[in-house]
Chains A and B, each alone.
Chain A
Amino acid sequence: MSVVEQVLKGDVRAVARLLRDIDDQVPSTRSILQQLYPHTGNAYVIGITGPPGAGKSTLVDQMTAYYRKQGKTVAILAVDPTSPFSGGAILGDRIRMQRHFLDKDVFIRSLATRGHFGGITKSTHDMITVLDAMGKDIIMIETVGVGQGEVEIAECAHTTLVVTVPGLGDDIQAIKAGIMEIGNIFVVNKADREGAKKTVQELRNLLEMGKKFRMETGAGKNGWDPPVVETQAHKGIGVDTLCGEIEKHREYLTAQAPEELEQIMLKRALHQFSATLKDELFKEVIKRMEGKGLKLEDVAKKIMAKEIDPYSLSRTLIKEEFKEDA
């Protein structure tokens, strides 16, 4: 049986191996992805982002339990950081999800950022394609613990949750820029802690201030007002309400604002295409360059020694290599 058939059948081992090959950029995965692509579009993708320690993994665990009770199948991609020094990583998000390990309808995969900024991995988009094709109803992407600017999750999720906790600073310093703008739903976790009400209020104020901007520029144009949900993930409190809000957002996208849904899909398609194109172009140019005996490392050395600058070299290479083809 081919890998494509195995994936479509939901073979866990085949999927697990394929995901690794995608992460490691094995060339043969391109044609596999190409064949899987027509089988996608059925999964609902939920992004969960927020600062480290906010309780993202515990929430994902609780949400998984909620969706399983509804009979939906679930896949989880959980991202943790790669050490910039050793290249190694400790991936520990699974610790919070132990009760689902033996459920054959829950697939969990831990990923390391491997130098990619933006909160997810370079391979996340392609992995969603695989998990969607294998037939999962719900795909949850838990980002690495983020600060302010890691907004890439909004390019792959239908609904993005921004999770925060009380006491991170006045006016929610930790999330006021960047990720503040991508949340479709805001979650104040650990809501039994002191200051929770204040955090909720501050969030609502911030959202209110941004309302005009949201109405004019896209998300919100059709009347979606991001709700703020209080949860205590370790006890499962507030999870039903949260999943209810996700469902509302889903209904909103499909019934009320199909053009917003289309925008999300469009952004994702564009991102996937441009990332793949950049990657392939880069590899092709390097291959041709090396074919002429010019090693990447030597080029870097020349740039470092200021014998040549990166700007004109790039332009020259592109002009030379694509002259006839263009």
Chain B
Amino acid sequence: MSQERRLRILVAKPGLDGHDRGARVIARALRDAGFEVIYTGCHQTPEQIVQTAIQEDVDLIGLSILSGAHNYSFPRIMELLKENGADDITVIGGGIFPLEDIPRLKEIGIKEIFTPGSKLEDIVKWIRENVKPRKMDAA
């Protein structure tokens, strides 16, 4: 029996930008931290991201976005999670965000936003402190 269940994380890139270097670096850092990371590549629609999160039973979705379309895709993802009864999954974002957008994103339920210059160890630390794996007997 495993003492502590392993955290499962979806690293996803919504929208049209193809800059996935950051997402890959994050995925690698999360792997090294001992998490199981599902990486699905670029150009994901909100619908694809939510379906993947459900099928993979993840505890956390990390959205990487550099295109500036976060004000569309992030609310849509939150909406779809709710519609599918999966709003217990924590969602965080990383990438380039105008500072004035951040409070609004947090208002719709994005738990944290990491902007350029964030340290990998800080992201891992935040996850360890704020995301707990789904309870074992919940099924």
Interface residues of chain A, those whose CB is within 8 Å of chain B, are 3, 12-14, 16-21, 24-29, 32, 82-83, 85-92, 94-95, 98, 101-102, 107-110, 112, 283
Asked if B2 and A25 make an inter-chain contact with CB atoms under 8 angstroms apart, the answer reads yes
The total of interchain contacts (Cβ-Cβ below 8 angstroms) comes to 102
**Additional 14 contacts, C-beta under 8 A, given A13-B84, A20-B5, A102-B47:** A3-B139, A17-B139, A18-B139, A20-B57, A21-B136, A25-B1, A82-B36, A91-B36, A91-B38, A92-B38, A92-B39, A94-B52, A101-B52, A112-B36
Interface of chain B residues 47 through 72 with chain A (CB within 8 A) = 47-48, 51-52, 54-57
Residue of B with least CB distance to A85: B32
Chain A residues with Cβ below 8 Å from B102 are none
Answer yes or no: B35 CB below 8 A from chain A CBs. yes
Chain B residues with Cβ below 8 Å from A87 are 6, 34
Residue of A with least CB distance to B137: A28
Give bound CA distance, A283 to B1, whole Å.
Answer: 8
Chain B residues with Cβ below 8 Å from A92 are 38-41
Residue of B with least CB distance to A88: B31
Asked if A26 and B139 make an inter-chain contact with CB atoms under 8 angstroms apart, the answer reads yes
Asked if B28 and A90 make an inter-chain contact with CB atoms under 8 angstroms apart, the answer reads yes
Chain A residues with Cβ below 8 Å from B33 are 86, 88
Chain B residues with Cβ below 8 Å from A28 are 137, 139
Chain B residues with Cβ below 8 Å from A82 are 36
Give bound CA distance, A24 to B134, whole Å.
Answer: 11
Give bound CA distance, A18 to B85, whole Å.
Answer: 16
Asked if A109 and B8 make an inter-chain contact with CB atoms under 8 angstroms apart, the answer reads no
In the A-B complex, list the 4 residue pairs whose CB atoms are closest, starting with the nearest: A88-B31, A95-B41, A101-B48, A16-B57
Chain B residues with Cβ below 8 Å from A90 are 27-28, 31, 37, 39
What are 11 A-B pairs at a CB distance below 8 A? A3-B139, A12-B54, A16-B54, A27-B1, A28-B139, A86-B31, A90-B28, A91-B39, A98-B40, A101-B48, A107-B55
Chain B residues with Cβ below 8 Å from A32 are 139
Asked if B2 and A24 make an inter-chain contact with CB atoms under 8 angstroms apart, the answer reads yes
Q: A102-B47, A107-B55 are in contact. Are A89 and B5 (CB under 8 A)?
A: no
Asked if B139 and A94 make an inter-chain contact with CB atoms under 8 angstroms apart, the answer reads no
Which of the listed residues A20, A25, A94 has the most CB atoms from chain B within 10 Å of its own CB? A20
Which of the listed residues A17, A88, A112 has the most CB atoms from chain B within 10 Å of its own CB? A88
Which of the listed residues B35, B40, B52 has the most CB atoms from chain A within 10 Å of its own CB? B40
Answer yes or no: B105 CB below 8 A from chain A CBs. no
Asked if B48 and A91 make an inter-chain contact with CB atoms under 8 angstroms apart, the answer reads no
Chain A residues with Cβ below 8 Å from B41 are 92, 94-95, 98
Answer yes or no: B123 CB below 8 A from chain A CBs. no
Give bound CA distance, A87 to B85, whole Å.
Answer: 30
